Chain A
């Protein structure tokens, strides 16, 4: 009984167990679900969500939110093929430029929130709308095909049979967990998220941390955008849209408080896997796209009630 209670007080573990349970039941009942190739495919999809949600986790822990991540993914996916110089055979220059652009967008979000005191929800939503408009002007609504070799490698390569996207996600996870749990920065923005006033009076700089975290969120969204582009080989307007809700849902499924100050990326990781698993299971059910959306929304709510409820105090 005590052990059960401990699990319920540990949202990351709870979400992880939930994933294990769903995978087990689905493997036993659905033919093909438990195949190595299928599970690997699910993880590959989860990697994109997990990488976007890395930035989202940081921002939410600090008490903010980033509603521009979907637009940043789209911007990177569409602009990267256009800004990759043809003279660079590796394609790395294009990636660096695209990541710098995404980070810059995040910095602007942070500057608006920190210096202009625009509420983050408004600042990032306005940024998303602005970027979408910009894309229509630049790309004109047509899809762009990627020929950048580094991006294609990232999307398609499987060293030792493991997709590069999953490896990238592991690296991102290690970095983000180190930031949250092993660096002063992590303790500072957790304090900011739980009580901004007390943190400020304790010498924590609100402006500096806000800028840094939104820049990181932009960076991770850009990274996810590059991965999506490599996996699809095409960028188009709207490619990043599904990842906005997904990134927030993964954070909250992982037990992180949407109000900030409490949580960890260790919960977001199983949260992202749970999300793609749910999507995959719904696809198996023979239903029209409308009903699938309704089922997906209801399932997210139901999962939140299970894993989010007990974390509350």
Chain B
């Protein structure tokens, strides 16, 4: 199966959002009868590439080719017409419609202008049999488990008889049995000449199913090669790559101070009965794949979601904070990952955002002290080099400067514990460096910094200790020389179990 003509190809595609480049000249070619793996860490640009290949987004420059011919404006309709189907990571089903209606939606067979239900049922039964769906096809999707819904999603793609099938993390909600059915199905489609693109964080699946791999890192292709003879460790090496530079401040040699957080059998949201402790002056990293409980760990410690623990001491409190107000009063602050929706009041001014947590403290006899507020705002803006008029709405700022506002508003509280959720996501390199320096300075002042991050180099080079979560439990606790990208990525993916040691 050497050189067939690719069915679908992207050549030197560039794509950015709001001046933030996401894809920087990416090539990928999907050949008939081949399962192609697309790997990359979170934020590497995988979803954007899929959206370009399926016509959901248009490249800023570069070309999409179908059957070797460039297509002008590649719309979702054009992609469907070219036989390209995508199984999205986020389910796109309508819960109240039946299995059959969901599968047929947008591609209903028609007769005299009306939906031909007989033909629909026949076609739907065929694809349902292929994916092992035995439920009655007129059952509402709302009654199905997440895994079964994923199978409906796959059946929906098959119903369109695709020549190119893109599967975005199809197994993340599937049982082992369902994953087995999917694996066999992928083999069948491949043998029939379908071109497949397979995105997964489960490297053993990639090894078992795929013949070729493209690795994305920071919007560029770092590997495009055959998978023959490459093992799990080799895949991890391909993904991690090399390059860090002097982005990170040096670690001091000072010993950490008193214990600031100590919890046993702590559960919150996805987090299941973990033990965790951290001391003043430390930067502790929380790593893992997306959605393994990192955010819930932080929110639980912040009192923002219900949490419980057998024993807890947090910032002098003899228990977990019951609500955000109590956490703030105890000197615990939180910087959310999604600064646009959780961190900032976007339409309000920079000044209003900076002052929000300090309003009560600065008020005199129940009224706001405008002079004191203006002084504090000016001081914060100067310390964080937030330039320009603070009366502008905060949404006018760049991502990096927005993040600085989300962080700066907490400084007047003189926090003893800073909980940060992916603070450098979508932040330019210069601001990243500033934030790293600031976090290191916080630690040097005896504060505790807990940093959940999807950016592995950040965990390796900034943090004193790293806790890797997997499915809500601790997959690895790393410190000192044991912190490496290989160890973190490996533990996150369950390649080599580090266990509960240390």
Q: Which of B334-352 contact A (CB under 8 A)?
A: 334, 336, 341-348, 352
Contact status B334-A187, CB under 8 Å: no
Q: Which residues of A contact B334 (CB under 8 A)?
A: 201
A183-B367, A187-B356 in contact; A201/B342 too (CB < 8 A)? yes
Contact status A201-B336, CB under 8 Å: yes
Residue of B nearest to A208 (CB): B325
Q: Does B227 sit within 8 A of A, measured CB to CB?
A: no
Contact status B345-A184, CB under 8 Å: no
Bound Cα distance A198, B356 (Å): 10
A191-B348, A191-B356 in contact; A184/B363 too (CB < 8 A)? yes
**What per-residue 1/0 map shows which CB atoms of A191-216 lie under 8 Å from chain B?**
10011011111111100000000000
Bound Cα distance A202, B368 (Å): 18
> Would you give the shortest CB distance from A255 to chain B, in whole angstroms?
14
Q: Which residues of B contact A178 (CB under 8 A)?
A: 367
Q: Does B366 sit within 8 A of A, measured CB to CB?
A: yes
Contact status A203-B343, CB under 8 Å: no
Q: Which residues of A contact B327 (CB under 8 A)?
A: 203
Interface residues on B, range: 20 to 34
Bound Cα distance A183, B409 (Å): 19
Interface residues on A, range: 20 to 34
Residue of A nearest to B360 (CB): A184
Contact status A202-B367, CB under 8 Å: no
A198-B342, A201-B342, A203-B324 in contact; A190/B348 too (CB < 8 A)? yes
Q: Does B304 sit within 8 A of A, measured CB to CB?
A: yes
Contact status A195-B324, CB under 8 Å: no
Bound Cα distance A147, B422 (Å): 66
Bound Cα distance A201, B304 (Å): 7
Q: Which of A208-234 contact B (CB under 8 A)?
A: none
Residue of B nearest to A313 (CB): B347
Contact status B325-A205, CB under 8 Å: yes
Bound Cα distance A183, B355 (Å): 13
Contact status A194-B328, CB under 8 Å: no
Q: Does B357 sit within 8 A of A, measured CB to CB?
A: yes
**What per-residue 1/0 map shows which CB atoms of A174-195 lie under 8 Å from chain B?**
0000100011100110110011
Q: Which residues of B contact A188 (CB under 8 A)?
A: 356, 359
Bound Cα distance A182, B366 (Å): 9
Q: Which residues of A contact B344 (CB under 8 A)?
A: 195, 198
Q: Which residues of B contact A190 (CB under 8 A)?
A: 348, 352
> Would you give the shortest CB distance from B426 to chain A, in whole angstroms?
17
Q: Which residues of A contact B323 (CB under 8 A)?
A: 205
> Would you give the shortest CB distance from B409 to chain A, in whole angstroms?
7
**What per-residue 1/0 map shows which CB atoms of A109-143 lie under 8 Å from chain B?**
00000000000000000000000000000000000
Contact status A187-B346, CB under 8 Å: no
Bound Cα distance A198, B359 (Å): 15
Q: Does A262 sit within 8 A of B, measured CB to CB?
A: yes
* Most chain B CB atoms below 10 A, which of A195, A203, A204, A313: A203
Bound Cα distance A226, B356 (Å): 37
Q: Does A261 sit within 8 A of B, measured CB to CB?
A: yes
Contact status A194-B325, CB under 8 Å: no
**What per-residue 1/0 map shows which CB atoms of A232-248 lie under 8 Å from chain B?**
00000000000000000
Chain A at the B interface: SS class:
helix
Residue of A nearest to B359 (CB): A184
> Would you give the shortest CB distance from A210 to chain B, in whole angstroms?
14
**What per-residue 1/0 map shows which CB atoms of B356-375 lie under 8 Å from chain A?**
11011001001110000000
Q: Which residues of A contact B346 (CB under 8 A)?
A: 194-195
Q: Which residues of A contact B363 (CB under 8 A)?
A: 183-184
Contact status A191-B345, CB under 8 Å: yes
Bound Cα distance A190, B336 (Å): 20
Q: Which residues of B contact A313 (CB under 8 A)?
A: 347
Contact status B368-A191, CB under 8 Å: no
Q: Which of A182, A191, A201, A203 contacts B352 (CB 8 A)?
A: A191
Residue of A nearest to B328 (CB): A203
> Would you give the shortest CB distance from A72 to chain B, in whole angstroms?
27
Contact status B357-A202, CB under 8 Å: yes
Contact status A197-B341, CB under 8 Å: yes
> Would you give the shortest CB distance from A63 to chain B, in whole angstroms?
12
* Most chain B CB atoms below 10 A, which of A182, A184, A199: A184
Q: Which residues of A contact B355 (CB under 8 A)?
A: 187
Q: Which residues of A contact B336 (CB under 8 A)?
A: 198, 201
> Would you give the shortest CB distance from B414 to chain A, in whole angstroms?
14
Contact status B356-A202, CB under 8 Å: yes
Bound Cα distance A203, B324 (Å): 5
Q: Which of B171-188 contact A (CB under 8 A)?
A: none
**What per-residue 1/0 map shows which CB atoms of B397-420 lie under 8 Å from chain A?**
000000000000100000000000
Q: Which residues of B contact A201 (CB under 8 A)?
A: 302, 304, 324, 334, 336, 342-343
**What per-residue 1/0 map shows which CB atoms of B375-409 lie under 8 Å from chain A?**
00000000000000000000000000000000001
Contact status A194-B345, CB under 8 Å: yes
Contact status B352-A261, CB under 8 Å: no
Q: Which residues of A contact B367 (CB under 8 A)?
A: 178, 182-183
Q: Which residues of A contact B348 (CB under 8 A)?
A: 190-191, 194, 261
Q: Which residues of A contact B302 (CB under 8 A)?
A: 201
Q: Which residues of A contact B343 (CB under 8 A)?
A: 198, 201
Bound Cα distance A183, B368 (Å): 5
Q: Which residues of B contact A202 (CB under 8 A)?
A: 324, 356-357, 409
Q: Which residues of B contact A204 (CB under 8 A)?
A: 356
Q: Which residues of B contact A191 (CB under 8 A)?
A: 345, 348, 352, 356
Residue of B nearest to A200 (CB): B324
**What per-residue 1/0 map shows which CB atoms of A275-313 lie under 8 Å from chain B?**
000000000000000000000000000000000000001
Interchain residue pairs with CB less than 8 A apart (16): A178-B367, A183-B363, A183-B367, A184-B359, A184-B360, A184-B368, A187-B356, A187-B359, A194-B345, A194-B348, A198-B342, A198-B344, A201-B334, A202-B357, A202-B409, A313-B347
Q: Which 9 A-B pairs have the closest CB atoms?
A: A184-B359, A203-B328, A195-B345, A194-B345, A202-B356, A191-B345, A184-B363, A197-B342, A202-B357
Beyond the given A184-B359, A201-B334, A201-B336, please list 10 additional residue pairs across the A-B interface where CB-CB is below 8 A: A184-B360, A188-B356, A197-B341, A199-B345, A201-B324, A201-B342, A201-B343, A202-B324, A205-B323, A262-B347
**Residues in A lying within 8 Å of B, measured CB to CB:** 178, 182-184, 187-188, 190-191, 194-195, 197-205, 261-262, 313
